[in-house]
Structure 1
Amino acid sequence: MAARIDEAAGDYEIDGIGPFDLGRIARLHRRCFDDAWSRSDLAQLMALPGGFGLIARTQGFNRLGIDTRRVVGFGLCRVVRDESELLSIGIGPEARQQGLGRRMLRACMTHCGGLGAVRMFLEVAIDNDAARALYDGEGFVAVGRREGYYRRGDGERVAAVTMRKDLQSS
């Protein structure tokens, strides 16, 4: 069973990823990114030492007590010694612009810090202005650039900015 993370954004809850969530996350990953990860890719990540994920769901059950929650976001990370990496974070289009991305990022940073990480790294597409604004606002700083890191659906290659944040200041 997934561990409960004490984090909520509006009508959403953030929990640890369970084994039955991987297919749902893979489908959402395809909605968020051109170069999406498969269920198998996600399972391999979760099996790595220090690999973990968080999932955002709508809250609720219907009148009959049937679980009606939908997966609307995820954060995938890895912690190795005192460093962590935000491998992927995504929020479904229907849940964007509500603060959920920021809350997911903060929950990931908190969880990584709890596992002993003192800094977090990530890559973001150079043209992803919304994500870059989020990371800048949370105190990440650019520390490098990777040419051709991402592949778009049309085959175009896009550079990534590598960013870092010291988690003690979270």
Structure 2
Amino acid sequence: MSGGSATGPKQLAALHGRCFVTPRPWTATEFEGLLSAPGCVLLTAADGFLLGRIAGGEAELLTLAVAPEARRAGQGRALVGRFLEQCQAQGAEAAFLEVASDNAAALALYRRTGWEAVGRRPRYYAPGIDAVVMRHGLGRAA
């Protein structure tokens, strides 16, 4: 995917498949359904994307994927920052996400961008990995 941003369901699924084992990668059909849903937010970068949704006063960061070879260069942080700005612009008062408890890099990124752990879902992901539920109050910039 290097050199071009993913925008279609097949491209998104291909990059997601390179980035995730747990939770399992999403299919092109799943992306197609999400992209057509009201409130969907797709933000892209050269080697990554963020998919979220905004409804009423709440937003949800559904997934963030950055190509393995492009990580630690600021794309993920920039995408999260743009998402939070868009949430605020559309009147959301809080944003939520779930992340695998063993994904140290993602947890660190989210903490650095102002997210706080507010709950845990035991054995949410196969094979028995907990999900950390995180919240951003949208009152401060990432």
| TM-score normalised to structure 1 length | 0.75
Pick one of 42, 45, 52 that aligns with 1:53. Answer: 42
Match of 2:15 in 1: 28
Residues 1:104 and 2:79 aligned together:
yes
Query: Displacement, 1:164?
Result: 0.3
Q: Deviation per CA, 1:83-107: give whole Å up to 9, x if none.
A: 0000000100111011111001111
- SS of corresponding position for 2:139: helix
Residue 82 of structure 1: CA displacement? 0.8
Bigger share in strand: 1
State how many pairs are aligned. Answer: 137
- Runs of 4+ with >4 A deviation: none
- Name the counterpart of 2:95: 120
* 1:50-109 deviation digits (Å, cap 9, x = unpaired): 11211112xxxxxxxxxxxxxx10100011101000000010011101111100111111
Aligned amino acid, residue 137 of structure 2: D
Which blocks of at least 5 consecutive residues in structure 2 are unaligned? none
Which ranges in structure 1 are unaligned for 5 or more consecutive residues? 1-11, 58-71
Distance in 1 of aligned mates of 2:88 and 2:9: 24
Paired residue for 2:32?
Answer: 43
Q: CA deviation at 1:158?
A: 0.7
CA separation of 1:29/1:13 partners in 2, compared to 1, >3 Å: closer, same or farther? closer
> Quick one: structure 1 residues 127 and 84, their matched pair in 2 at CA, closer, same or farther if it must change by over 3 Å?
same
Q: Which has the larger radius of gyration?
A: 1
- 1:166 is aligned to 137
Deviations 1:20-53 (A, max 9, x none): x221111000011120111110111112111121
Aligned to 1:130, what secondary structure does the other structure show? helix
Aligned-partner Cα distance in 2 for 1:23–1:118: 32
**Percent sequence identity over aligned pairs:** 40
Q: What is the CA–CA distance in structure 1 between the aligned matches of 2:9 and 2:4, rounded to whole Å? A: 17
The code of the aligned residue for 1:157 comes to G
| Deviation of the 1:117 alpha carbon | 1.0
- The answer to whether residue 92 in structure 2 is matched with residue 131 in structure 1 is no
* Match of residue 6 from structure 1: none
